[in-house]
Structure 1
Amino acid sequence: MSHIDESSAAVTAATDSAARTLVIDAGVESAFRPLNGVGGIPGPVTEHPEFPDMTPLWREAGVTVVRSFDWLSRLDTRDNPTSLFPHWDADIDDAASYNFAATDEWVQAVHDAGAEVMFTVASSIPSNKLPAQDVNRYGRVVENIVRHYSRGWANGPAKPIRIYEFGDQPDFGPLHFGGRPEEFYAMYRAFCEAAHRVDPTLTVGGPAIAFPLEAEAPYREGFLDYVRADDLPLHFFSFLWFTDGSRDPLDYRSVSRELRALLDGRGFGETDLTLSYWNYLAVPSSSAPAAEKGAFQAATAIYLQDTVIDHAFFFRADTGRDPHYGFVDPAGVGTVDGGPDERSRALALAGRALTGRRLAVTGGDESGLACAAGRDGDVVRVLVANYVAPDTALVEREEDRFTFRIPIGAQRIELGLSLPPQRAELASARVSSVTVRIHDLPWREREVFLTRRSTNGTVDGPHAVGVSDEGVVEIDLALEPQSVFLLEVEAR
C-alpha cells in the first residue's frame, strides 16, 4: 500500500474519535444526477455594464443550465420600458414592439459558456405583481417571445431554448403575485398553449413555489388539480428552498420526498421535480461568514445527489448585483467586483468534482461531513466538505415554523413557512482530520499526480506519488471547520 503525506500541508491523521476514514471504491461506478444548474446574471451588457463577467467561473464549475429569472427578461403585465413587451397597446406581431437586446446578449453568453437556458416567464417583480389584463393577448405575446428564442423569429438566437418555466414564487405573500390563484392558473394555460403553438416538443413547467411544505395550498395542490383537470402539460414541478430557518443541508431530502409523494399521488408520476433555486440563506437580514456559506454549498451539492430531485439551480451564481431590487443580494458569490471567495470557489470545486462517473464512497455522515467522488477519464476527483452548523441552529425549536420580514421600500412584509422536523444529527461530529483511501485504482504500481485545492484559495501540487500493487492510495488531511477540499488524482 502507498501512503502519501502531502509535503507542504501534511498532517498525520489523529488517532482519537476526531479522525475519520473516507473510503472511495474506484471500481464501483454509477451516474451523477444532473443538478449543476445556476441562477444569476452572466455578465455585462450594453444596458448594464457594471455586472462582472461570471461566465469564466461558470465554465470552471461546468454549469449545464442557467435560469433566466434574475435577468431583465421579465414579461411585465403592465406597461414597463424594461419589459420584454414594453407597451401593451403595441402591435403584437411587430418585432419592433419587443425589447430583446439585453436578454439576447445574455442567452448568447450562456450558450458560449456551454450551458443551456431555462427561460422563466414572470412579471417585473418587485415593481409589478398584477395578473394579465387580457389573458388571450398575453398568450399571443408569450408565443412570439418563445418563437424568438426557440425558432429564431426577429433575429432570435441561433441555438434554440428548449425549457420554459412559468411563474416565480406566486405564493410569496403579496410580493410576487397580486392576483387570485384562478388568474394565475389561466395565465399558466395561456403560457402552455403559446409555447406549444410554437413547438409542441418544448419542455414546460412551473410554478416555482416559495413555500413547498404548506399543505392544501392554492399554488401547490390547487395548481396541480387545475393542471390535471384541464389536461395541461407539466413536464416539471418547480420549487425554491433556502435554509435560513434550519441551516440544515438535508432539508432538501425531506422537502423533495414530500413533493415527490404529492406529485405521484395526484397522477404526476412522469413530472420531474425541479429545485429552481437553492442556497444557504435568502433573507436579507440573515448572515454568515463566506467560509461557512461555502462549506454549506459544497456539502449540499453532495447531499443533493441522493435526493429525488431531478434538476437543481444554485442561486445565485453571480456577485448579487440586482437590476430589479437595487441592492447587492447576500446570496451572491465572490466579491462585488467579481473577485473570488470561499463561495465562488465552492461552486467551482463542486462542479468540477461531480462530473464523469460517480464512485462509491463511505465514511461521511449526515452532520456536515460530506464526501463525493468521481472518475473522468484518467482523473479521479474526491470532494470533501466539513460544514459545521452554527450553535443557534442546534437549539431546540418551539415549533417547525420560520417567520421573517422582507423589506420592500418602506414596507416590512412578515411571512412564515413550515420547516422539516429538526434533526439532532445536524450537530457536527467535530471531525478534525480524515484519511482519504482510494482503492481499486486501475493504475497499479504506477506514478500518479496528486493535487489538493481548497476554498481558501490554496492549491497544493501536483505531487508525484505511487499507487500500490493493490491499486490503493491514501491521503491524510487536516480538516478545519467550514473547509472544503478537492483532491485530484491524475494518471499521465
Structure 2
Amino acid sequence: MSPIDESSPSGAPASDPSPRLLVVDAGDETAFRPLNGVGGIPGPVEGYPQFPDMTPLWREAGVTVVRSFDWVSRLDTRNNPTSLFPNWDADVDDPASYNFAATDAWVEAVHSIDAEVMFTVASSIPSNKLPALDNDVYGRVVEHIVRHYSQGWAGGPSTPIRIYEFGDQPDLGPLHFGGRPEEFYAMYRAFCEAVRRVDPTLTVGGPANAFPLEADAPYREGFLRFVRENELPLDFFSFLWFTDGSRDPLDFRYVSADLRALLDRHGFTDTDLTLCYWNYLAVPSSSAPAAEKGAFQAATSIYLQDTVIDHAFFFRADSGRDPHYGFVDPGGVGTADDAPDERSRALALAGRALTGQRLAVTGGDESGLACAAGREGDVVRVLVANYVAPDSALIERAEDRFSFRIPIGAERIELGFALPPQRRELASAGVSSARIDIRNLPWSGRTVSVTRTSTTGAVDGPHEAQVSEAQVSDAGDIQLDVDLAPQSVFLVELQAR
C-alpha cells in the first residue's frame, strides 16, 4: 500500500480550505529544551577574508553554542601548516609550536554574542584521515590545546571553553577516518586523559556518528563497549542526521529514541544525547528551493522540542563556504551574494520564538504544520511553520535505506545507511490559513501590539514585519487570523501597551 492518499492527482492530500485552529494556553508554562546551537564559521579573519560576518544573524537568532569543526581549528595527525599543531617534530611544550590565531579570533567572535563554543578535536579532513602516529604525543598536544582554550595558556581567550568533542563522522566510509576502529578508540582514550589532566570537570564526548541507525557498528556499540570497559568519561554521545533520504522532520524523533535506548542499554543513562549537526539536505547533489529548506528548518526546530535530544546544532548557519573542501555547502543560509533568504530568516524567527517559557499549544500536526509558543517577559510569541514534503518523498520506498554517491575530486564514494520507517503522516494536509486562539493572557481588556513576520510573501513583502494593534478580551483571550503559504514560516509577537 502506498503511504499517501491516492485521491489527488499528485498523490498528496487535497488542500484543506478551512483555517486550522491553533490554541495557545498562555497560562500553561514549561521550559524549552536548550537546542539553539549552530555549526558554522563566524566571519572573516586574517587569511580567510571571504567569510561573511554571521554574528549579527546569530545574535538575532539567540544562538547559545557553536560547534567549531568547520573552522580551521583542526588538529591534523600529520604535518600541515594550517593545523593547530603544524609540525609534529616541534617542541610540544613550546607555545610557538601552535597555530592559534584564526581560531582564537573565531572563539572571541562567538563569545562576543554571549554564546559558548563546543570545540571539536578532529584531523584535517578531507586532506588527511589517518590516525595519530604516537598517541602519547598526540595526547600531550591535545592537553596544551585544551589548556589554551580553558585556562589561558599561551595567551588563550579570556572566556574558557568548557565543552570538548572528539571525532567527526568516523563511520563515513573512507572519507573521515582512514584507520581501524581500535585506533580511533585509542585516540579517544588519549583525548580523554588529556582533558582530565587539564580539568576533570570539563565536558567531553563524541564520536559524531554519520550513520547512527547502523546497528552492531564499530563506532556505535563498539565505541560504547570500549568506553565502558576502560572507564572513560562520555558526558555526551554525538551524532549527525540529515533527511536527504526521507525529507521527514520527524526523523529526529525516531533516531534519538533509538540512540537513547542504546545508551541506556549500555549503562550510559547519564550521558546526554547531542545532535551535533542537523539540516534538511547534506549530499552535494541534493537540492531544494530556499523556501522549502527554511520551512523545514523551522518545523524541525519545533518538533525537536518533543524529542529526547539534549543539545542540537543546526548545520550550517553560515554562507556554506568551506575552507577545507573548496566548494559551497548546500546546507548554508543566505543567497550566493550573502543576502538573507528564507533559510536565514527561518533561523532568526525560530531562534527568537523558542526562548523564554514554553506555552502549551494544540492544533499542529505531524505533517509539517508545526506550531510553538513562548513567553519572554512581557512578550508572547507564536511560531508556525508550514512545511510541505515534496511528492518524491511520498512515493512508497522499496526499503528503508538510502544510498548515495559523494564526489571527492575524481573519486566517487558510494555510501548507504538505514532510515527510519516511512510515515504516512508526512503528506501535508494542505493547510493554507490558521486562526490562532491565545487564551489566559495576563493582559485582560488591554490593547496589545501585534507584530507579524514571515519568511515569504504571506505578508505584504518577504521578510517584512507588519505591526498593528488588537484588543484582549476581558477573559484574557485574543484571536488572530493568518495566511500560511506553503513552505513558509510565520511569527506573531504580542506585547502589551
Secondary structure at the aligned position of 2:467 is classed as strand
The residue identity in structure 1 corresponding to 2:495 is: E
The residue identity in structure 1 corresponding to 2:154 is: A
Secondary structure at the aligned position of 2:175 is classed as coil
Find the counterpart in structure 2 of residue 378 from structure 1. 378
Question: Could you state the TM-score of these two structures normalised by the residue count of structure 1?
Answer: 0.96
Secondary structure at the aligned position of 1:175 is classed as helix
C-alpha distance in 2, partners of 1:108/1:224? Answer: 34
Residue 494 of structure 2: which of 479, 489, 492 is its match?
Answer: 489
Which whole-Å deviations, capped at 9, do the CAs of 1:217-248 have from their partners, x for residues lacking one? 00000000000000000000000000000000
Q: Find runs of 4+ consecutive structure 1 residues off by over 6 angstroms.
A: none
Once the two structures are TM-superposed, the CA of residue 339 in structure 1 deviates from its matched residue by: 1.2
C-alpha distance in 2, partners of 1:489/1:474? Answer: 12
Once the two structures are TM-superposed, the CA of residue 365 in structure 1 deviates from its matched residue by: 0.1
Find the counterpart in structure 1 of residue 6 from structure 2. none
C-alpha distance in 1, partners of 2:375/2:328? Answer: 37
Find the counterpart in structure 2 of residue 465 from structure 1. 470
Secondary structure at the aligned position of 1:190 is classed as helix
The residue identity in structure 2 corresponding to 1:417 is: F
Find the counterpart in structure 1 of residue 279 from structure 2. 279
C-alpha distance in 2, partners of 1:62/1:276? Answer: 18
Contact 2:16-2:429 at 8 Å conserved across structures: no
The residue identity in structure 1 corresponding to 2:216 is: E
Contact 1:74-1:121 at 8 Å conserved across structures: yes
- Is the counterpart of residue 90 in structure 1 residue 95 in structure 2? no
Find the counterpart in structure 2 of residue 253 from structure 1. 253
Which whole-Å deviations, capped at 9, do the CAs of 1:375-416 have from their partners, x for residues lacking one? 001100000000000000000000000000001000010000
C-alpha distance in 2, partners of 1:108/1:460? Answer: 32
- Is the counterpart of residue 453 in structure 1 residue 458 in structure 2? no
Aligned residues: 478
Once the two structures are TM-superposed, the CA of residue 17 in structure 1 deviates from its matched residue by: 5.2
Secondary structure at the aligned position of 1:103 is classed as helix
C-alpha distance in 2, partners of 1:254/1:362? Answer: 21
C-alpha distance in 2, partners of 1:436/1:414? Answer: 47
Once the two structures are TM-superposed, the CA of residue 113 in structure 1 deviates from its matched residue by: 1.2
Find the counterpart in structure 1 of residue 11 from structure 2. none
Give the superposed CA RMSD.
0.9
Aligned runs of 1:219-230 on 2, under 5 Å? 219-230=219-230
Contact 1:443-1:467 at 8 Å conserved across structures: yes
Aligned runs of 1:292-303 on 2, under 5 Å? 292-303=292-303
Find the counterpart in structure 1 of residue 187 from structure 2. 187
Contact 2:345-2:463 at 8 Å conserved across structures: no
Aligned runs of 1:87-126 on 2, under 5 Å? 87-126=87-126
Once the two structures are TM-superposed, the CA of residue 479 in structure 1 deviates from its matched residue by: 1.3
Once the two structures are TM-superposed, the CA of residue 97 in structure 1 deviates from its matched residue by: 0.3
The residue identity in structure 2 corresponding to 1:420 is: P
Contact 2:172-2:210 at 8 Å conserved across structures: yes
C-alpha distance in 2, partners of 1:196/1:352? Answer: 36
Question: Could you state the TM-score of these two structures normalised by the residue count of structure 2?
Answer: 0.95
Aligned runs of 1:70-469 on 2, under 5 Å? 70-456=70-456, 457-469=462-474
Find the counterpart in structure 2 of residue 7 from structure 1. none
Which whole-Å deviations, capped at 9, do the CAs of 1:356-376 have from their partners, x for residues lacking one? 000000000000000000000
C-alpha distance in 2, partners of 1:33/1:267? Answer: 24
Once the two structures are TM-superposed, the CA of residue 477 in structure 1 deviates from its matched residue by: 1.1
Contact 2:16-2:430 at 8 Å conserved across structures: no
Unmatched runs of 5 consecutive residues or more in structure 2: 1-14, 457-461
C-alpha distance in 2, partners of 1:477/1:349? Answer: 16
The residue identity in structure 2 corresponding to 1:481 is: P
Contact 2:279-2:297 at 8 Å conserved across structures: yes
C-alpha distance in 1, partners of 2:311/2:448? Answer: 34
- Is the counterpart of residue 41 in structure 1 residue 41 in structure 2? yes
C-alpha distance in 2, partners of 1:453/1:459? Answer: 6
Once the two structures are TM-superposed, the CA of residue 478 in structure 1 deviates from its matched residue by: 1.4
The residue identity in structure 1 corresponding to 2:491 is: L
Contact 2:38-2:312 at 8 Å conserved across structures: yes
Once the two structures are TM-superposed, the CA of residue 16 in structure 1 deviates from its matched residue by: 6.3
The residue identity in structure 2 corresponding to 1:354 is: L
C-alpha distance in 2, partners of 1:356/1:105? Answer: 30
Once the two structures are TM-superposed, the CA of residue 432 in structure 1 deviates from its matched residue by: 1.2
C-alpha distance in 1, partners of 2:430/2:16? Answer: 12
Which whole-Å deviations, capped at 9, do the CAs of 1:98-155 have from their partners, x for residues lacking one? 0000000000000001100000000000000000000000000000000000000000
C-alpha distance in 1, partners of 2:194/2:465? Answer: 53
Unmatched runs of 5 consecutive residues or more in structure 1: 1-14
Structure 1 residues 460, 58: CA separation in 2 closer, same or farther (over 3 Å shift)? closer
Contact 1:53-1:338 at 8 Å conserved across structures: no
Once the two structures are TM-superposed, the CA of residue 337 in structure 1 deviates from its matched residue by: 3.5
Secondary structure at the aligned position of 1:284 is classed as coil
Secondary structure at the aligned position of 1:174 is classed as helix
Find the counterpart in structure 1 of residue 3 from structure 2. none
Once the two structures are TM-superposed, the CA of residue 458 in structure 1 deviates from its matched residue by: 3.3
Moved more, 20-29 or 475-484: 475-484
Secondary structure at the aligned position of 2:127 is classed as coil
Contact 1:451-1:459 at 8 Å conserved across structures: no
Find the counterpart in structure 2 of residue 480 from structure 1. 485
Moved more, 330-339 or 475-484: 330-339
Contact 1:235-1:270 at 8 Å conserved across structures: yes
C-alpha distance in 2, partners of 1:192/1:408? Answer: 32
Secondary structure at the aligned position of 1:215 is classed as coil
Contact 1:52-1:337 at 8 Å conserved across structures: no
Contact 1:54-1:338 at 8 Å conserved across structures: no
The residue identity in structure 1 corresponding to 2:290 is: A
C-alpha distance in 2, partners of 1:427/1:18? Answer: 17
Secondary structure at the aligned position of 2:178 is classed as coil
